[in-house]
Every structure is written in C-alpha cells, then in structure tokens.
C-alpha cells in the first residue's frame, strides 16, 4: 500500500468546541457519540422491559411515576393492553437498531478500525459525521412517537402488515406513531448505509504500509464483513419502509389486499401482499442479527487472544467462518416465516441453510474452546465477559437446533422459546461482547483503568442474572406460552405465572446490577487510576498510539509501518512475551 | 480466583438448566408440551425428543468443557503453552462430521413430519369448516346440509346482529343454511379441513394439543387439516400479534363423539 493513500484522510485538528465535541470529523469522537447514543438507548430499552415484566406479573398494581409519564398509556400507573404492546415495540426497535447495530459496530468499529489499520481517520470523515447525526435524528423521530396523540406503534419491532399499513383503524398508536416509526427506521437505514460505505472504503484503501489484509486483527475483519452485510441488508429495509409509508399516506397497496374490514371500515386498498412485507423485512432482518453478533465475535476473539497470550488455533478459520456466516445469512430469512402461509416447500428449502449455519458457528466455538486449552488465560473483567459470551453463544445457539426445523417450529413458533433464543444470542451474548470491549478499550479511550473489583461483580451478577431470566423462557416456550401477550389469562397460561414471577425478579435484579457498571464507567472516567500505554500488552496498532486517548490523527503525525501479524504472543522479545505489530523486532521462539 | 469461580458457576448453571428439561417442571409448573391429540403429532414429538437429546448433549458438553478448560488454564502458575491435539483441523472435521451431519439428518427426518401436515392434501371427504379471525375473536362456519359456504361480504359484517361473516342470506341461497359458531366443534377421529380467512389483519391459529399452528393472512386462502384423536376441550389461541386484544383472542376446540357432534350440529341449525 503506497503512502499517498494514508494522506487521503487528513483533516485539520479541530479548534472550536463545536468541532471538537459536537460536529466532529474525528472517527474517535464519532465512535464515542455512537456509544453514548447506544448507552441512552439501552437504558431506555431496559426500563421499558422492566415495566413490561412488572405488568405481566402484577397487572393491576400501579407503577410509581408511570401515571405521570404516560397519562394515556398507563392511567393511574396501570399499563393498558395497548401500552404494553407499545412498550414492547419500542423496546425491540431501540435494542435491535440503536443498541445492537450501534454499539459493537458503529461505536467500537468507528473508534478502532482506522487505528488498527494504521490510518489517520475514516476514508470519508464528513460522511462519518453525517452518519452519526442522521442516526441521532432517527433516534429523536422514534422517541417522539412517545409524545404524540395515542403514542408509539404496537405492531412490534417487526411491524407486520397489514396491521402496520392500514393506519389508525388498526389500533392505538397505529396512526402517527407507526408513521414516525417507519420514517425513523428509513432515516436509520440512510445512516447505516453511509457508515457501511465508509468502513468498506477505509478497510480496503487506507491500510498503512505493511498492513496486508491478512495482518488485520480478527476484530477488524469482523467489522469489515459486518459492513458488507449491512450494505446489502439496509439497502432492502430502506425501500421496504418507504413502501410501508406510501401505503399509509399515499393510498398505495403494496402490502394491503382488497376487502379488509378493520374496525368496521372497509380499507380502500387492493392487490397488495402482507407476505411481501415479511419477505422484505426478514431479508434484512436475518442478516441484521448477524450484524449484531459478528462484531461481538470479533471483539471477543481479539480480547481472548491478547489475554491467552497465544493465538487462536487458527485465526484464518475464524475469519472464513465469519465470511461463511455472512454469506449464509442471506439464504435463511424464510425461517422466520415457516407457518406464515408461504409455500410450505419454501419452508423446507429455507431450513437447510439455517441448519448449515450451525457448522461455522460450531467451528468457531470449538476453536475458542480448543484455544483456551493449554493457554494461560489472564482473568480480568474483559476476559470474563468473553468467557460469558462463549457460554451464552452456545446456550442461545443450541435452541436454534429446534427452531431451524419447520416441523418443530409448528409448535414453538411465536412462543417464549423464540424469545429466549434471540435474547440469549442478541440480548446477552452481544451485550457481553460490548461490555468486554468497554473494559478492554477503556484505558485506550480515556487513559484510565476501570475498577477491576467492580467489573468482576458486574460480570458475575450479570452472568447469573441473565441465565436466570432467559433460560426459563425456553421452559415457557416448551409449555406453549405465546409471546407478545400483555396478560396471561388463558387456562393453560395461569399455572405458568410463578415462572414469570421468577423471571421478573431476575430481570429487576440484573437491571440493578448494571448500575455497578454505570458507576464504574463514569467514576473511572474522571477518577480511575491512570493507565499505562499498553496495559494489556496487546500487539495491535491501537496500543501503539503515542497517547491514550490517541491524538486527533491517531499516530501524532507519524505513519506506522507494520511488520507482523497481530498474533506475536508467547514469544521471547525485548518487551516480554509479545511483539507489537509495529515493532521491527523479530522475536525468538517460545516463552 | 475469578477463573475458578467462573468455572464452578458455569457448571452449576448448565446442570441447573437441564433439570427442568428432564423433570418437565419448573417452580411447580408443567413445562412440557401437553398430551398430543392428533394423528400427525407423534412424528413432531419424536423429532422434538431427538433434537432435545442432541441439543442437550451439545449444550452440556460445551459448557462443561468451557468450565473445565477455564478451571485448568486460567491464571496458571506454571506450564508451557500447549496446543489442542489436532489443532483447528480437528475442530473443522468434528464440526462437519458430527454437528453438520447431525443437523442434516435432523432436517431430513423432520421433513417427513412437515410433509404430513403440509404436503399431503386434505382427504377428499375431510369435513370442511371455515375459520375467520378478526380483531379479537375467532368464528367458525359450517356449510350446512347443502355442503356449500355462502359468499363472504366484508361490508356486510355486523357483529351486533351476529353476522360475523358478512353473509347475505336474502340474495345468496348457499349462505342460508350456514351455521356460525364461536367455538370449533368437531367429531373425533374424523379429518377436518380448516379454511382460514382473515377479516382485518394477520392472526394465527394455534392449538397446542393438536400440534398445529398456521397464520391467517389477509388476502390469502389458506387451509390446514388435522384429525383429532381424543374427546375433550382444548384452547385455541391467537399467536400472531394483531392489536391490543391479541392476548385475549381465544376460542375452544371441542372434540366430541360422532353421535354428540351430530346432535350438536342439529341443535345449531334450528
């Protein structure tokens, strides 16, 4: 790679407050902005889930403060059936889009990808700034739905038509609220597409001298592969949202057939297909869940390699597995639609690539386990969250064995079994990846260490708590407990209420445990012990910057040269048992 | 220290998670599918059972190995780094040969159970009953002695006057003898073909004991067939989010002897 490409990203050092902290072109600031947005989104989403869980087991008890916040949705603090579904919709939308797409990918990826490849910034710093602020606008549009007439939509984060398409007749929140949702997601797609373009161009064009593709850390590969998936996936969701908005406001009928009698009004539409929405949505939606998990896979692999002081059994195989998962992710969307009314032959066809995804996922898991063997794993908060990730990835993954088979899905579809499955992989494993990244990279981003004792308490309470919440979801599913119910009144559901109570207590307990993390994050930012330049003795380029946080151009005017892959651990060298990627030293064998 | 705590914890969590699966109970509640009352359900249940064993073994093995390796290799005091015998190649082979072949087998065997429900057409003499799902109730319609269903007119639906299907008996002869019911009543051991019609938005028909779940899609003529094998009363619940009353959208499947069913049908038409 010639030196000229490295100069392409240069922009002047910011001077004004606005340029430094608000409308910044610096990928590091933008990464932190995404992190902050994800932080607000995750706590909002978590509070919504507490309200939902409390309502499910104490339906008539007024929730303190809620009556004042939601006069229409929860008069006297008691959640109405429609408000429960509205909270559910917002919980899912916030978590999937604004947390799981933002934090592991946009936040950490923006901050560290350019540094890890030796670049001064992303390829398109202005697009990058636009991406974040567009995401922020999408967030504001979404949140605004809480404050309009009858509130946010109640159609779930999946927004199935015709419920989402026919307008206010379908129920509370289905008027303006649903339109705001559609616009918010449309705008989010624009931001995502810009972000993905940036990641791809940067990775391909801005690698510094010596940084071949094969010398990029696994996590850099993960962000790159994720951005390729995201480019194709969001490119489909965006027009889908547009078609939905047109059905709602322009009288089109992409998703609405003739003759619908909704609340005694015959809907003035004809010729549309509700299944078309499902195909478009899930064509995006399945790759989206891999967009959520792949960066976490990369982060966990990266942190484990550093803490094990040895490479994975094969980093190449992990990278190929990530590519295989990315590729296969486009072939399986119909597994969300087995009993949807689509051709049952299609259901069988979709189930086979779905089952096949087990193979790269298993290979990666076996490689992680096999790499732990014979290592000397340093235990710290970051590495503990990586181990927690592996455990949750397995737990969430094996329930996929059931759901991938259409015959079994006849029974388990739309039950809590599905909800348990996706929460374990997305809601816990991916979040553990975010936590691991936070504890690991905090010293680089702030120059201070997070408190290790608090970190361990956070980890162990979260591990126990999340298993206590989500493992019982599978038991409920086996009993046929239907999902997205605001109350459990059916004969067969009432005996399951003790299980729900247990889950609610676990959820509140686990939520409280996150306050330890919040305190640690903010306290350490200002009062944490100063960190050395490379506290984890990690070889990749982010640890070779001249300061923590790095200077605005990452390397202080120098252009790093790369001599090694990032796996020089367990070797004899002048720094100890590792050689930095930027060090010309050739290590002696063994440690 | 943290490594050893993790190792012990993960083993406890894994074993504790398995207990309700084996005992079929959790906190006093039964957490297993209810008794199967269909002709096709055994194949589904067998498939679930095999999958549970395979998933269970994979789950336990992975968590126990994770715990074991972390116990052995976290913060070790001494010892050189070791490579797992076979390295990555062994992992790839195991994944393909054991897991890959296993899930392929599951998929192939499971296709048969799926085919019984979905590929095999309803028998020519199956009893046709129409089911309509609308916010927030199920209604069922029997064709009556003429064996024909009258036309549905969405604009004529009038729930206040119990015209749930929007029939027009004045002008449509076939609809005059149609029998409407809020519950699905069927005779035992006779195949039923349920014709699914969505009135407004998406809904779904789910009877756990029948091992049947099928979405109602507005604009599509879908149907599902089954043969109930046991007299009794079973809950029908909606499983496709359809609005604020989704949690409350239910009905009952009542399976009667042929004799009782004939009496019931006669009493409905008078």
Q: What is the 3-state secondary structure (H, E, C) of A471-486?
A: HHHHHHHHCCCECCCC
* B103–A373 CB contact, under 8 Å: no
pLDDT of residue A14: 84
What pairing do the DSSP bridges indicate for beta strands A569-573 and A265-266? unpaired
Task: For residue A583, give the 3-state DSSP assignment.
Answer: coil
Handedness of CA A338, A339, A341, A344 (dihedral sign): positive
Min distance B49 CA to chain A CA atoms (Å): 10
Chain A residues close to B241, C-beta within 8 Å: 85, 154-156, 160, 163, 484
Distant-in-sequence, close-in-space partners of B190: CB < 8 Å, separation ≥ 6:
B126, B127, B227, B258
Same domain, A420 and A565: no
Q: Which DSSP string corresponds to A310-337?
A: S--S-HHHHHHHHHHHHHHGGG-GGGG-
> The tokens of B79 are what?
């010892």
**Section A37-60 average pLDDT:** 98
Distance CA(A409)–CA(A357), nearest Å, equals 17
Chain B residues close to A492, C-beta within 8 Å: 34, 208, 235
CB pairs under 8 A between A and B: 340
Domain presence at residue A261: no
Domain presence at residue A269: no
Mutate: best of A150, A160, A310, A407, partner B, most B CBs <10 A: A407
How does residue B115 score in pLDDT terms, banded at 50, 70 and 90?
Answer: very high
Chain A residues close to B54, C-beta within 8 Å: 401
**Section B42-47 average pLDDT:** 97
Distance CA(A395)–CA(A389), nearest Å, equals 10
Q: Which residue of B has its CA nearest to A337?
A: B215
pLDDT of residue A10: 64
Confidence check: pLDDT of A5 > 70: no
Confidence check: pLDDT of A590 > 70: no
Domain boundary among the residues A529, A547, A577 is at A529
* A85–B51 CB contact, under 8 Å: no
Give span(s): CATH 2.60.40.420, chain B. 127-269
Q: Which residue of B has its CA nearest to A311?
A: B83
Q: Is the peptide bond before A558 cis (omega within 30 degrees of 0)?
A: no
> The tokens of B158 are what?
């009038």
Q: Which residue of B has its CA nearest to A503?
A: B27
Domain boundary among the residues A209, A232, A254 is at A254
Distance CA(B60)–CA(B48), nearest Å, equals 17
CA angle, B223 then A412 then A467, to 5°? 165
> The tokens of A98 are what?
């604004």
Min distance B145 CA to chain A CA atoms (Å): 28
pTM for this predicted structure: 0.96
* A402–B48 CB contact, under 8 Å: yes
Contact in structure between A355 and B104 (CB atoms under 8 Å):
yes
Task: For residue A262, give the 3-state DSSP assignment.
Answer: strand
Residues 177-216 of A with CB under 8 A from B: none
Q: Read off the pLDDT of residues A504-517 as tens digits, 9 standing for 90 and up.
A: 999 999 999 999 99
pLDDT of residue A586: 87
Min distance B164 CA to chain A CA atoms (Å): 11
* A359–B95 CB contact, under 8 Å: yes
Q: Is the peptide bond before A560 cis (omega within 30 degrees of 0)?
A: no
Confidence check: pLDDT of A15 > 90: no
Same domain, A65 and A183: yes
Min distance A538 CA to chain B CA atoms (Å): 17
Domain presence at residue A62: yes
Domain presence at residue A69: yes
How does residue A11 score in pLDDT terms, banded at 50, 70 and 90?
Answer: confident
* A339–B214 CB contact, under 8 Å: yes
Domain boundary among the residues A233, A254, A275 is at A254
Same domain, A73 and A156: yes
pLDDT of residue A575: 86
% of chain B at pLDDT higher than 90? 91
Q: Which domain holds residue A580?
A: 537-591
SS3 for chain B, per residue?
CHHHHHHHHHHHHHHHHHHHHHHCEECCEECCCCCCCECCHHHHHHHHHHHHHHHHHHHHHHHHHHHHHHHHHECCCCCCCCCCCCHHHHHHHHHHHHHHHHHHHHHHHHHHHHHHHHCCCCCCCCEEEEEEEECCEEEEEECCCCCCCCCCCHHHCEHHHCECCCCCCCCCHHHCCCEEECCEEEECCCCEEEEEEECCCCEEEEECCCCEEEEECCCCCEEEEECECCCEEEEEECCCCCCCCHHHCEEEEEEECHHHHHHHHHHHHC
pLDDT of residue A589: 57
User: How much is the mean pLDDT over chain B?
Assistant: 95
Q: Which residue of A has its CA nearest to B98?
A: A359
Same domain, A362 and A229: no
% of chain A at pLDDT higher than 70? 98
CA A144, distance to chain mean position in Å, is 22
The residue with tokens 């104490």 is A58
Instruction: Say which of B44, B73, B92 has its CB closest to residue A377.
Output: B73
H/E element, A363: helix A358-372
**What is the CATH number for A420?**
1.20.210.10
User: Which of A284, A296, A243 lies closest to A434, judged by CA?
Assistant: A296
Instruction: Say which of B69, B80, B155 has its CB closest to residue A372.
Output: B69
| Fold held by B127-269 | Immunoglobulin-like (2.60.40)
Mutate: best of B44, B101, B160, B246, partner A, most A CBs <10 A: B246
The residue with tokens 């260490």 is A449
Touching check for A499 and chain B: CB below 8 Å?
yes
> The tokens of A171 are what?
């129920």
Contact in structure between A102 and A41 (CB atoms under 8 Å):
yes
Q: What share of chain A is helix, strand, coil (3-state, %, to 5)?
A: 65, 5, 30
Contact in structure between A368 and A390 (CB atoms under 8 Å):
yes
Residues 262-281 of A with CB under 8 A from B: 262-264, 266, 272-275
Distance in angstroms between the alpha carbons of the first and the last residue of chain A:
33
> The tokens of A520 are what?
């640690």
> Can you give the C-alpha Rg of chain A in angstroms?
24
> The tokens of A62 are what?
């007024």
Q: What is the dihedral of CA A203, A204, A206, A207, to 10 degrees?
A: 80
Chain A residues close to B66, C-beta within 8 Å: 369, 372, 387, 390-391, 394
Same domain, A580 and A482: no
Same domain, A550 and A519: no
ipTM comes to 0.97
Distance CA(A561)–CA(A540), nearest Å, equals 12
Min distance B217 CA to chain A CA atoms (Å): 7
Phi, psi dihedrals of residue B40, rounded to the nearest 5°: -100, -10
Q: Is the peptide bond before A196 cis (omega within 30 degrees of 0)?
A: no
pLDDT of residue A13: 83
Contact in structure between A90 and A193 (CB atoms under 8 Å):
no
pLDDT of residue A591: 41
User: Which of A169, A168, A173 lies closest to A156, judged by CA?
Assistant: A173
User: Which of A371, A415, A360 lies closest to A393, judged by CA?
Assistant: A360
What pairing do the DSSP bridges indicate for beta strands B192-198 and B127-134? parallel
CA distances (Å), A321 to each of A62, A194, A218, A366, A427, in order? 49, 26, 11, 12, 22
Same domain, A397 and A335: yes
Q: Read off the pLDDT of residues A196-254 as tens digits, 9 standing for 90 and up.
A: 999 999 999 999 999 999 999 999 999 999 999 999 999 999 999 999 999 999 999 99
pLDDT of residue A2: 45
Task: Tell me the sheet residues that pair with A238.
Answer: none
**Section B164-171 average pLDDT:** 96
Task: Tell me the sheet residues that pair with B254.
Answer: B185, B233
Confidence check: pLDDT of B45 > 90: yes
SS3 for A499-548, per residue?
HHHHHHHHHHHHHHHHHHHHHHHHHHHHHCCECCCCCCCCCCHHHHCCCC
Mutate: best of B33, B100, B102, B218, partner A, most A CBs <10 A: B218
**Section A262-281 average pLDDT:** 97
**Section A384-404 average pLDDT:** 97
Q: How many CB atoms lie within 10 A of CB A551?
A: 15
Q: Read off the pLDDT of residues A308-361 as tens digits, 9 standing for 90 and up.
A: 999 999 999 999 999 999 999 999 999 999 999 999 999 999 999 999 999 999
Distant-in-sequence, close-in-space partners of A103: CB < 8 Å, separation ≥ 6:
A34, A35, A38, A42, A434
Q: Which residue of B has its CA nearest to A392?
A: B63
Residues 337-396 of A with CB under 8 A from B: 339-341, 344-345, 347-348, 351-352, 355-356, 358-360, 362-363, 365-367, 369-380, 384, 387-388, 390-391, 394-395
How does residue B270 score in pLDDT terms, banded at 50, 70 and 90?
Answer: low
> Can you give the C-alpha Rg of chain B in angstroms?
26
Task: Tell me the sheet residues that pair with A499.
Answer: none
Confidence check: pLDDT of A37 > 60: yes
Distant-in-sequence, close-in-space partners of B253: CB < 8 Å, separation ≥ 6:
B183, B184, B185, B186, B207, B210, B228, B233, B234, B235, B236
% of chain B at pLDDT higher than 70? 100
* A478–B34 CB contact, under 8 Å: no
* B237–A490 CB contact, under 8 Å: yes
* A480–B34 CB contact, under 8 Å: yes
* A475–B20 CB contact, under 8 Å: yes
Q: How many CB atoms lie within 10 A of CB B141?
A: 23
Same domain, A548 and A519: no
Chain B residues close to A74, C-beta within 8 Å: none
User: How much is the mean pLDDT over chain A?
Assistant: 95
Give how many domains chain A has, as a whole number: 3
**DSSP code for A166:** S
Confidence check: pLDDT of A8 > 50: no
* A410–B117 CB contact, under 8 Å: yes
Distance CA(B25)–CA(A416), nearest Å, equals 16
Mutate: best of A59, A263, A271, A339, partner B, most B CBs <10 A: A339
Instruction: Say which of A170, A351, A460 has its CB closest to residue B107.
Output: A351
Chain B residues close to A57, C-beta within 8 Å: none
Instruction: Say which of A266, A356, A390 has its CB closest to residue B155.
Output: A266
CA distances (Å), A483 to each of A413, B197, B254, in order? 9, 22, 24
Chain A residues close to B65, C-beta within 8 Å: 369
Distance CA(A576)–CA(B175), nearest Å, equals 88
Domain presence at residue A137: yes
Q: Read off the pLDDT of residues B181-195 as tens digits, 9 standing for 90 and up.
A: 999 999 999 999 999
Domain presence at residue A525: yes
* Most confidently predicted of A525-539, B76-90, B92-106: A525-539
Domain presence at residue A273: no
Min distance B85 CA to chain A CA atoms (Å): 9
Phi, psi dihedrals of residue A216, rounded to the nearest 5°: -75, 140
Distant-in-sequence, close-in-space partners of A580: CB < 8 Å, separation ≥ 6:
A534, A539, A543, A544, A564, A568
């Amino acid at each position: 790679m010639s030196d000229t490409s490295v100069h392409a990203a240069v922009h002047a050092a910011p001077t004004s407050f606005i340029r430094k902290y608000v409308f910044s072109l610096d990928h590091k600031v933008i990464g932190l902005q995404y992190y902050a947005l994800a932080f607000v989104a995750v706590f909002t989403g978590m509070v919504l889930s507490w309200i939902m869980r409390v309502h499910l087991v104490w339906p008539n008890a007024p929730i303190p403060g809620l009556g004042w916040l939601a006069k229409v949705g929860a008069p006297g603090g008691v959640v109405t059936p429609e408000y429960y579904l509205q909270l559910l919709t917002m919980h899912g939308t916030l978590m999937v889009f604004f947390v799981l797409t933002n934090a592991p990918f946009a936040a950490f990826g923006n901050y560290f990808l350019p540094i890890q490849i030796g670049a001064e910034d992303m390829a398109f710093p202005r697009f990058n700034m636009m991406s974040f602020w567009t995401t922020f606008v999408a967030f504001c549009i979404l949140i605004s739905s809480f404050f309009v007439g009858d509130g946010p939509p109640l159609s779930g984060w999946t927004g199935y038509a015709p419920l989402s398409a026919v307008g206010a007749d379908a129920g509370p929140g289905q008027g303006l609220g649903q339109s705001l949702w559609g616009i918010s997601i449309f705008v989010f797609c624009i931001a995502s597409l810009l972000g993905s373009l940036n990641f791809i161009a940067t990775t391909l064009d801005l690698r510094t001298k010596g940084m071949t593709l094969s010398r990029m850390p696994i996590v850099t590969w993960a962000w790159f592969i994720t951005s390729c998936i995201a480019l194709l996936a969001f490119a489909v969701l965006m027009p889908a949202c547009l078609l939905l908005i047109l059905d709602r406001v322009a009288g089109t009928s992409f998703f609405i057939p003739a003759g619908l009698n909704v609340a005694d009004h015959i809907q003035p539409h004809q010729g549309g297909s509700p299944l078309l929405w499902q195909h478009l949505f899930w064509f995006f939606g399945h790759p989206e869940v891999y967009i959520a998990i792949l960066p976490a896979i990369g982060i966990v692999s990266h942190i484990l390699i550093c803490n094990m002081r040895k490479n994975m059994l094969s980093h190449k195989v992990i990278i190929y597995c990530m590519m295989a998962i990315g590729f296969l992710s486009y072939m399986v969307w119909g597994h969300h639609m087995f009993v949807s009314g689509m051709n049952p032959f299609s259901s069988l066809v979709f189930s086979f690539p779905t089952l096949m995804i087990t193979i790269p996922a298993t290979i990666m898991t076996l490689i992680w386990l096999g790499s732990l063997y014979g290592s000397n794993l340093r235990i710290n908060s970051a590495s503990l969250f990586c181990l927690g990730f592996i455990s949750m990835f397995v737990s969430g993954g094996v329930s996929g064995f059931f759901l991938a088979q259409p015959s079994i899905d006849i029974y388990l579809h739309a039950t809590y079994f599905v909800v348990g499955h996706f929460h374990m992989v997305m809601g816990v494993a991916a979040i553990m990846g975010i936590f691991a990244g936070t504890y690991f990279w905090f010293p680089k981003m702030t120059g201070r260490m997070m408190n290790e004792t608090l970190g361990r308490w956070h980890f162990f309470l979260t591990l126990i708590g999340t298993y206590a919440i989500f493992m019982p979801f599978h038991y409920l599913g086996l009993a046929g407990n239907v999902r997205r119910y605001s109350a459990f009144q059916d004969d067969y559901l009432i005996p399951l209420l003790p299980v729900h109570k247990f889950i609610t207590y676990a959820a509140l307990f686990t939520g409280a445990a996150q306050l330890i993390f919040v305190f640690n994050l903010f306290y350490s930012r200002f009062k944490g012990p100063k960190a050395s330049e490379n506290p984890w003795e990690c070889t990749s380029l982010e640890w070779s910057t001249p300061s923590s946080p790095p200077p605005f151009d990452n390397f202080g005017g120098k252009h790093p040269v790369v001599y090694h892959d990032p796996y020089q651990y367990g070797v004899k060298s002048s720094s100890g048992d590792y050689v930095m990627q930027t060090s010309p030293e050739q290590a002696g064998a063994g440690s | 220290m943290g490594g050893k705590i993790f190792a012990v914890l993960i083993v406890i969590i894994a074993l504790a998670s398995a207990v309700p699966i084996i005992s079929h109970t959790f906190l006093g509640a039964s957490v297993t599918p209810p008794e199967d009352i269909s002709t096709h359900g055994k194949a589904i249940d067998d498939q679930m059972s095999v999958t549970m064993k395979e998933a269970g073994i994979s789950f336990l093995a992975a968590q126990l190995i994770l715990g074991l390796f972390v116990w052995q290799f976290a913060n070790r005091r001494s010892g050189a780094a070791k490579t797992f015998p076979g390295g990555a190649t062994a992992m790839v082979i195991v994944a393909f040969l054991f897991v890959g072949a296993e899930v392929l087998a599951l998929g192939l065997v499971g296709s048969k159970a799926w085919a019984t429900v979905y590929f095999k057409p309803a028998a020519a003499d199956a009893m046709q009953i129409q089911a309509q799902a609308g916010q927030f109730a199920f209604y069922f319609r029997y064709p009556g002695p003429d064996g024909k269903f009258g036309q549905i007119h969405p604009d004529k639906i009038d729930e206040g006057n119990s015209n749930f299907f929007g029939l027009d008996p004045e002008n449509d002869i076939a609809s005059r003898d149609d029998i409407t019911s809020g519950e699905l009543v069927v005779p035992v051991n006779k195949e039923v073909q349920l014709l699914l019609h969505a009135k407004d938005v998406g809904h779904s028909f789910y009877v756990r004991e029948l091992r049947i779940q099928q979405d109602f899609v507005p604009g599509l003529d879908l149907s599902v067939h089954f043969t109930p094998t046991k007299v009794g009363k079973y809950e029908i619940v909606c499983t496709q989010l359809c609005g604020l009353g989704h949690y409350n959208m239910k009905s009952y499947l009542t399976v009667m002897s042929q004799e009782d069913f004939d009496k019931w049908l006669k009493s409905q038409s008078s």
